[in-house]
Amino acid sequence: MTSSETWIGRRQFLGYSAVGLAAALATPASRMAFAASAASDTWPHLKEAIVINNLGFINDPNLAVGAGAARKAASSVAGRALEDALASGMTAVNATIGYTAGPMDPFEASVRDIAVWNLLIKSHPDKLLKVWSADDILTAKKQGKVGIIMGFQNAAMVGDDASKIDIFAGLGVKIIQLTYNPRNQIGDGSIEKENRGLTPFGHEVVERLNATKTLIDLSHSGEQTCLDAIKASKGPIAITHTGCRALSNLPRNKTDEELRLLADKGGMVGIYFMPFLKEDSFPEAMDVVRHIEHAVQVCGEDQVGIGTDGTATAVDDVEAYRAVINKEVEERRAAGISAPGEKPGVVPFLPDLQGPTQFQKLADLLHQNGHSSSRIEKILGQNFLRLMREVWG
């Protein structure tokens, strides 16, 4: 390859015969036109775009191999993981912190984790910025940093006192998910067959989250809990990381009814890069596109974004990592927090949509499928930025 004008992508090359290719490149003008056609498969605006991963991690999953750790250790927020996050073009990430499940005290564990993350951000002032407002996300973009949005994936840490939400809001927690997969004092999670919906205390929690301008997240919630919370909230709500139940009938995905009600109240859905995107086989990058397109069809292009539920660092040895995840699945099943779709042999990411190129690849696929640059920019981050500005004030 000697010139950008004569670079030929593999897909374009296979579409030409030897004679046809020679004719196509016969003149400088035709070579330039051909090069433009070849390059057109790439969406060229990622460097300028706001990219908000509304559920993700900054960690190196390769450190888990042979170490008995799983996906998100705060101690791995350094080195390769941090560089990959910056290289990916990610402007901000809703980084899961605090208590999700386990035997520890939910309140103490969550406060401790906030302190750990504050120290991490302070230790990397040239790379990380704590997000308190939507303007901070724009500042992170301008300064070439990754904005850290502190978020919980369970509200169990409020106990039976909704006023504890004020404490977490004061400490900079901007997003709180009502339930994880099982039920808690607020409502039923996605794996609860009773599907009982939001409890009376759950209504108090929703009211307090609205009052503190904390974005409510309904990922992992049971269907009735989701519907109840959307109706109860005075403001728009997010489902930060999910798929579409119409395409993959698994409880971690959301029904069209949930998605429509969410959109009708100005809320946002983020599509994840997770194996739940297919019921009976392992999904690929194009399945993310399929779920995004379905969500756009149901909700409208202004209400859809991404929440990968993963990291920007690729797994180097998928087979070795599979053994780590198999053990984690066993532990999650024993703890009663595993969702249908989690099973041995299935890794919690898409092998063809991982690493620091994942957002560029997604944008390219959307571009190739005929989506406009305006829509791609909305999906990558502008939609969630608008929602955060509306909710956080």
160 phi and psi angles, rounded to 5 deg: -110, 20
Residue 235's CATH number: 3.20.20.140
Q: Domain check: are 287 and 310 in the same one?
A: yes
Residue reference for tokens 């009211």: 207
- Alpha-carbon gap, residue 332 to 348, rounded angstroms: 13
CA distances from 219 to 54, 134, 225, 365 (A): 11, 21, 10, 25
Does 264 share its domain with 318? yes
pLDDT in tens, 122-141: 999 999 999 999 999 999 99
Looking at the structure, tell me whether residues 170 and 228 fall in a common domain: yes
Same-domain check for residues 83 and 61:
yes
The range of the structural domain enclosing residue 332 comes to 46-392
Residues 200/168, Cβ–Cβ less than 8 Å:
no
Report the pLDDT value the prediction gives residue 110, as an integer from 0 to 100: 97
Do 34 and 98 belong together in one domain?
no
Q: Where are the alpha helices (DSSP H) in 256-350?
A: 256-264, 285-299, 318-335
Instruction: Mark whether 164 and 33 lie in a shared domain.
Output: no
Do both 33 and 87 map to the same domain?
no
Tell me: do 152 and 219 sit in the same domain.
Answer: yes
Q: pTM of the full predicted structure? A: 0.87
Q: Region 244-270: what's the mean pLDDT?
A: 98
Residues 292 and 266 in one domain: yes
146 and 89 fall within a common domain? yes
Assign 11 a pLDDT band (cuts: 50, 70, 90). Answer: very low
| Mean predicted confidence (pLDDT) in 165-187 | 97
Q: Is 298 found in the same domain as 222?
A: yes
Query: Contact at 8 Å (CB) between 309 and 272?
Result: yes
Helix (H) or strand (E) holding 148: strand 146-152
Closest CA to 152 of 215, 237, 58: 215
Q: Is the pLDDT of residue 116 over 70?
A: yes
Domain check: are 14 and 130 in the same one?
A: no
Split into its structural domains, the chain has a count of 2
